[in-house]
Amino acid sequence: MTDKTLLSVRDLNAWYDESHILHGVNLEVREGETVTILGRNGMGKTTTLRSIVGILRKRTGTISFDGTDLMNRPLHHTARVGIGFVPEERGIFSTLSVEENLMLPPVVSDTGMTVEEIYQLFPNLKERRNSQGTKLSGGEQQMLAMARMLRTGVKMLLLDEPTEGLAPVIVQRIGEVLQTLKARGMTILLVEQNFRFASKIADRFYVMDHGKVTDGFDLAELPAKMETLHEVLGV
């Protein structure tokens, strides 16, 4: 981890049609860091990720990544500057085979993993590389959604609820994969409901409530925060 700020979000407001969802979100992610956004459902966590990526266009404020202002760039520039997005619904394509899904996103830098390295990390995907993408199990689809971003050489992954609806053994496997990525120096911004899972891999936390970041703290401060967190998160 370095002290260099990779992603910086300042006073981010965002709207779905007429409804105002984000009310001035501020957050920062440093290079090599894994940051988790915690919060109950409907507090704006997914909206924050979608606004950073640029899928949600009705937004104000500033978003800068590695010194590049992202606000006025078209959606297809987001990956090119180095941000890979893994959506909550995983977004595996049914008309593409597993391998076609894996090869779909264009390579943006030469720091990505090779296909062999990816198949080593996810042997299941290699076995089923000729199957239809959506024939995979939920866990395998999540692995594929992550794997296809690793090939591209993005500097940062935005992961939206990667463990949602998955069996504990798969959740553990995803945790291992994220540790491997951390060790390789990947910067990760994670939205997660599974607090236990998040506490094992995150270096830092933000808490979101009603469209704002209301708290931010390091892993070391977590034990002291547990009581307030239980209240805020309702867990």
Least separation in angstroms between CB 69 and another protein: 18
Q: Which residues touch 149 (CB under 8 Å, ≥6 apart)?
A: 84, 85, 86, 105, 157
Decide: 190 and 36 in contact? Cβ < 8 Å: yes
Question: Which of residues 38, 108, 147, 201 is near another protein by CB under 8 A?
Answer: 108
Question: How far is CA 196 from its chain centroid?
Answer: 17
What span, in angstroms and rounded, lies between the C-alpha atoms of 220 and 229? Answer: 14
Q: Which one of residues 24, 42, 67, 106 is an interface residue with another protein (CB under 8 A)?
A: 106
* 53 is an interface residue for another protein by CB under 8 A: yes
110 binds another protein (CB under 8 A): no
Question: Binding marks (x or -) toward another protein, 120..159, rule CB under 8 A?
Answer: --------------------------------x-------
Cα-based angle 17, 18, 19 (whole degrees, multiple of 5):
100
103 binds another protein (CB under 8 A): yes
Contact with another protein (CB under 8 A) among 17, 95, 130, 231: 95
* Separation of alpha carbons 34 and 230, rounded Å: 22
- Burial label for 40, CB within 10 Å (0-12, 13-18, 19+), is middle
Residues in contact with another protein, counted by CB under 8 A, come to a total of 24
CB of 148 to another protein, least distance (A): 8
> Residues interacting with another protein, by CB under 8 A?
53-55, 74-80, 85, 87, 91, 93-96, 100, 103-106, 108, 152
